[in-house]
Amino acid sequence: MVASTLTQDRMEDVIPHAGTTPGLFQLYTPTDKELAASFLRRAEKSGYKAVVITLDTWITGWRPHDLNTGNFPQLRGYCLQNYFTDDVFLGRLSKSPKEDTRAASLEWAKVFGNPLRWPDLKWLRSLTTLPILLKGILHPDDVRKARDYGIDGIYCSNHGGRQANGGLPALEALPAVVEAAASMPVLFDSGVRSGADIAKALALGATAVGVGRPYIYALAVGGADGLVSQLHALLAELDLLMAVDGYPSIADLRAAGAQRISTK
């Protein structure tokens, strides 16, 4: 389970519900370095198992659907509880977020986006002992560069296609990313809508596959029960598809995928 910096509940209240599921904290690195350090301290202290550094959203792309619906919840004070409960961020405000939500939201907009450079990884590495994964990697050269900087894992993603219209499909980039990653784990998301999509990503070498919009849609329509039903459906489809195609285990699926890639 990957919990974003942008959540309606603070990170400390989210992680206990993960139970035995490993929880990863997804950092949208702010421009305020003290605030970034505070977020990572809180994530480590509250029990997250790794940090996902987001590289592809230091500024949001052109999103017509969001624009047409006026959908920017952060500017109305939503999904900012990690900021509104952080002492460093609160120190930037003259009034509490409850007293002046608009001013607090505008202050968030000032610190949200930080276009990172490679040397910044040394600084981020110094802030936490947790494993670090880079999210938004689509090129093997970037994977190899990340290895040189001591990064622990790669997250192959194009942010669900919500950033660069006409950009490279993440699934096409996955095999080269996996090859360059060598022993590093490679997480994958973007466009995963079915058990068949999960099978394809696993066959192409993904260590784990992330699901975005389907679980949000299910949650919006059916609440927690809808979410559980959606996840069960994804797993059931994956299980049946593997049986139909003759793969008894995920290891067999991965081995078959690796063999096909090597013969091309």
Lowest mean pLDDT among 57-71, 132-146, 208-222: 57-71
**H or E stretch covering 175:** helix 170-181
User: What does the pLDDT look like over 92-126, one tens digit per residue?
Assistant: 999 999 999 999 999 999 999 888 999 999 999 99
Give the rounded percent of residues in the chain with a pLDDT score beyond 90: 86
pLDDT score recorded for residue 146: 96
Q: Is there a catalytic annotation at residue 17?
A: no
Residue with tokens 């029990």: 47
Q: Are 55 and 28 in contact (CB under 8 A)?
A: no
Domain for residue 227, yes or no? no
Domain for residue 160, yes or no? yes
Beta bridge partners of 154: 134, 186
**H or E stretch covering 27:** strand 24-27
pLDDT score recorded for residue 130: 98
Q: Which residue has the higher pLDDT, 141 or 115?
A: 141
pLDDT score recorded for residue 71: 85
CATH number at residue 181: 3.20.20.70
Catalytic residue (choose from 65, 139, 159, 232): 159
Burial of 182-215, coded b for 16+ CB within 10 Å and e otherwise, reads eebbbbbbbbbeebebbbbbbbbbbbbbbbbebb
State yes or no: pLDDT of 263 exceeds 80: no
pLDDT score recorded for residue 142: 97
Domain for residue 158, yes or no? yes
pLDDT score recorded for residue 210: 96
Domain for residue 202, yes or no? yes
User: What does the pLDDT look like over 15-60, one tens digit per residue?
Assistant: 999 999 999 999 999 999 999 999 999 999 999 999 999 998 888 8
Residue 74: HSE in the Cβ half-sphere, 13 Å Cα cutoff: 16
Q: Which residue has the higher pLDDT, 264 or 200?
A: 200
3-state secondary structure of 190: coil
Domain for residue 228, yes or no? no
Q: Are 150 and 170 in contact (CB under 8 A)?
A: no
Domain for residue 8, yes or no? yes
User: What does the pLDDT look like over 152-175, one tens digit per residue?
Assistant: 999 999 998 888 888 889 999 999
Domain for residue 89, yes or no? yes
> In this structure, what token pair is assigned to residue 135?
């999210």
Q: What is the pTM of this model?
A: 0.93
Q: What is the mean pLDDT of the chain?
A: 95
State yes or no: pLDDT of 62 exceeds 70: yes
State yes or no: pLDDT of 226 exceeds 90: yes
Beta bridge partners of 186: 154
pLDDT score recorded for residue 264: 66
State yes or no: pLDDT of 260 exceeds 80: no
pLDDT score recorded for residue 91: 98
Q: Cα–Cα distance between 36 and 42 in angstroms, integer?
A: 10
The range of the structural domain enclosing residue 90 comes to 2-213
Domain for residue 188, yes or no? yes
**How many domains does the chain divide into?**
1
Q: Mean per-residue pLDDT for 214-223?
A: 95
